[in-house]
Amino acid sequence: SNSNISNSNSNNSSNQDATGVVVVCEGGALPPILCTSCLAYMNPYVQMDVGTGIWSCALCGHQNAVPVEELREGSRIATALSSACVEYRQPHDGVDDSDSDDNDNDNSDDNDTTSNDNDTTSNDKNKPEEKEDYCTYLLVVDENLSPRDGQAIAPAVEAIFKEQLASSIRDGDDEDAHARPTKARIGLVVFGKSVSMYQLGFAGLSSAHTYIPEDPNEDAAEDEFDRQMEERAYLADIQAGHDFTFTSLRNSLASVFGVSIDDNDGYGYGYDYDYGYNYGNGNGNGNAANG
């Protein structure tokens, strides 16, 4: 029962994005709230005592505490308690925008000076390189899920991406629409007795790097695993109009859960709800009955 979840949930519905997909929290002094035991993010399913600021993690049950004054409407904590999906945007270089504005004013004279040799301004030299702004979806999947639940993952993510893209174009002005992200990144990590990081983006095959804790070559495998994590080698681009990454995701999940998936329904998936699963080569090319 969610009856004990923070009373601020009903009061903060205005924070929810109109599409019900992703709520954006801009950078601030307070970082995203994590459970101090299992490091799970605060979410609408935690048990919150709004009088004391003590909340119980929905995953491990550990009790944590937050400042009561931060439970106000519109705060990061209130947003986390009322929104199932939140995108946290941190300030660049760890500096709040307000601080950077003051620094810009203090150094305005220096920034306006020009170099006679190359006709470039020092302001251009000091201008940070612009980075693309788009979401990253990291799917961490338990291999012990039922085949039906495993089938539901990829179409749900694909629907979220398409809805987010459509809403960004629908809600933006003509000029802003071109600046809004039309792509995202996605990664698939499957865990059980081993941990596998799938390399998405290859439509015709399913490829993964697997880490087995009991492996006698554990140290070497762990070093390679850490390297790929650090280099984000497991992330693939999703771009509007190009669905080969979703095809790779579908094939990878099909191989994990031993199910046959085709392209017959609205999401590009055909479900076999009669449990007539094809446990053949798991390449996603079998014929499943439409659900």
Q: pLDDT by residue (tens digit) across 165-206?
A: 776 665 555 454 444 556 678 888 999 888 888 888 776 667
* 95: pLDDT strictly greater than 50: no
DSSP state of 91: P
Measure Cα distances from 2 to 7, 9, 45, 48 in Å: 10, 11, 7, 10
Dihedral of alpha carbons 157, 145, 139, 18, sign? positive
- CA dist 88 and 77 (Å) reads 12
Among 13-27, 136-150, 196-210, 265-279, name the one with the lowest average pLDDT: 265-279
- CA dist 192 and 144 (Å) reads 7
Measure Cα distances from 162 to 55, 79, 137, 182, 224 in Å: 34, 23, 13, 9, 34
Evaluate whether the domain defined by 8-88 bears CATH number 1.10.10.60: no
Instruction: Label the pairing between strands 236-239 and 54-56.
Output: unpaired
- CA dist 120 and 117 (Å) reads 8
Give the pLDDT mean for 2-8. 34
- CA dist 248 and 242 (Å) reads 12
> Across the chain, what does the average pLDDT equal?
66
Full-model pTM: 0.48
Helix or strand (DSSP H, E) at 187: strand 183-191
| First-to-last C-alpha distance (Å) of the chain | 31
How many Cβ atoms from other residues are within 10 Å of residue 79's Cβ? Answer: 20
Q: pLDDT by residue (tens digit) across 41-54?
A: 888 899 999 899 99
- CA dist 89 and 80 (Å) reads 14
* 35: pLDDT strictly greater than 80: yes
Q: Where in the chain is the domain with CATH 2.30.30.380?
A: 8-88
